[in-house]
Structure 1
Amino acid sequence: MNVNRLSLAIAAVVVAGAAAIAAMMITRQDTGRGPEFVPIGGDFTLTSHEGKRVSDPEFRGKLMLVYFGYTYCPDVCPSELQVMGSAIDHLGEKADEVTPIFITVDPQRDDWQALGEYVPHFHDRMVGLTGTPDEIAAAAKAYRVYFAKAEGEDDESYLMDHTSLVYLMGREGQYLRHFTGGTTAEEMAAAISEEF
């Protein structure tokens, strides 16, 4: 009888310990603030699709939707930008409180004029940003965005591999959340609305 009670006590301690570890892991995943948390976002200075130099602080006071891609992207980028533009429209009167931003990962082909022709197709308030390769690399690093020219491509007609996330940044430039592919405009708008 004592052996059974000891076995039950040990089993209860093991189960309680496993439950505590699981709870800590879930809490850590929910907050995203575990010991390995790396900040997302930061200052950048780039050239807008209107040919003006702009910096991250100029967008403060409004929420930002930030996406990294390129104008020659055949499918994913236009789809994500379309969702961003539609999400802005779903916000109605609150739409002016959000700035949609598209940052190119292909400054070789995406100069400010190319962005000026491209971004209005997705929303009239979308801001397209480009810069030198070093400026783009710094902005991408701040947002933890991977990008590289696809292997085996020639120098003129090539594809880019890149992270495809839409970041929602706060009024002070802080990371709030991100959206993955497959998020609908309605879902994105609902999540943005929670920040008003």
Structure 2
Amino acid sequence: MTADRKILLIGAAAAIGVLAGGALFLTLQGGTDTSGCSNSAVAGGMDSFGTEFTLTRQDGQRVTSAEVFDRPSLLYFGYTFCPDVCPLDSARNAEAATLLEESGKEVQTVFVTVDPRRDTPEILADYTSLFSDDMIGLTGSDEEIAAVNKGWRNYYKANDEEDQEYYLVDHMTNTYLVMPGEQTVEFFSRDTPPEQMAETVACYMDAAT
């Protein structure tokens, strides 16, 4: 990792969160889901989120969605060059996972890039290590990343028309709870605190036992 990149990531982790561009088309509705763990729902139901995939992990290994989601997982779509939102959200997700682990519940965090051109496995390894030794980073071809994002209805767009090196990427900032069996059951907006996230995840885990 270059010195400039380290400075960027360290500064980003301390930055004040600003919502990244991108249209949020998840429609929040009142009500409670069948597990009693959430007070929100999404148009079409959470069953419509997710897809099978094969992507490249930060260690260079190709892995399937079944291999990734072998335990409750907090799934986030972002990119390593993101100056503010992604580092803060990744740190929040890692903190929620730590809170759950402290209460005896095993949860992992998963980071899927929306910028496969720059986010090589090596770059993802550097990035994920800043937040957790257990965070999984995933990349792939443009087509593979597009398919995964489509599966989770995630909007993203690279603003690279004028700059092919230091461009930013608009993207949604939801975190999804994916249970073993590749079932997406909940999502969290970026203003959800880690304590609330951990409480909700624990509820789903208890309901599944």
Q: TM-score range by the shorter chain?
A: 0.7 to 0.9
Q: 1:49 to 1:155 in 2, by over 3 A?
A: same
Q: What is the aligned partner in structure 1 of residue 59 from structure 2?
A: 50
Count of residue pairs brought into register by the alignment: 170
Q: What is the aligned partner in structure 1 of residue 157 from structure 2?
A: 148
Equivalent residues of 1:47, 1:112 under 8 A apart: yes
Q: What is the aligned partner in structure 1 of residue 143 from structure 2?
A: 134
- Of 187, 195, 201, the residue aligned with 1:192 is 201
1:85-124 matched pairs, under 5 angstroms = 85-91=94-100, 92-95=102-105, 97-124=106-133
Equivalent residues of 2:30, 2:41 under 8 A apart: no
Aligned counterparts of 2:113 and 2:145: Cα–Cα separation in 1: 7
1:150 shift after superposition: 2.3
1:157 shift after superposition: 0.9
Which digits, 9 at most, give the CA deviation of each residue in 1:83-117, with x for residues without a partner? 0000011111534x212100000011000000011
RMSD: 2.1
Which digits, 9 at most, give the CA deviation of each residue in 1:11-57, with x for residues without a partner? xxxxxxxxxxxxxx8559967476x4470011111000111001101
Aligned counterparts of 1:28 and 1:183: Cα–Cα separation in 2: 17
Equivalent residues of 1:59, 1:99 under 8 A apart: no
Aligned-residue sequence identity (percent) comes to 37
Q: Which has the higher helix share?
A: 1
1:153 shift after superposition: 4.2
For structure 2, the residue ranges without an aligned partner over 5 or more in a row are 1-28, 34-38
Q: What is the aligned partner in structure 1 of residue 11 from structure 2?
A: none
Aligned counterparts of 2:177 and 2:112: Cα–Cα separation in 1: 14
Which digits, 9 at most, give the CA deviation of each residue in 1:52-78, with x for residues without a partner? 001101134411110000000000000
- Of 169, 189, 195, the residue aligned with 1:180 is 189
Task: Find the residue that maps to 1:195 and give its secondary structure.
Answer: helix
Is residue 80 of structure 2 the alignment partner of residue 68 of structure 1?
Answer: no
Aligned counterparts of 2:94 and 2:69: Cα–Cα separation in 1: 20
Q: What is the aligned partner in structure 2 of residue 14 from structure 1?
A: none
1:170 shift after superposition: 1.4
Equivalent residues of 2:69, 2:178 under 8 A apart: no
Q: What is the aligned partner in structure 2 of residue 78 from structure 1?
A: 87
1:177 shift after superposition: 0.6
Alignment TM-score, normalising by the size of structure 2:
0.75
Alignment TM-score, normalising by the size of structure 1:
0.80
Q: 1:40 to 1:82 in 2, by over 3 A?
A: same
Post-superposition, which runs of at least 4 consecutive aligned residues in structure 1 deviate over 2 A?
A: 25-34, 150-153
Task: Find the residue that maps to 1:66 and give its secondary structure.
Answer: strand
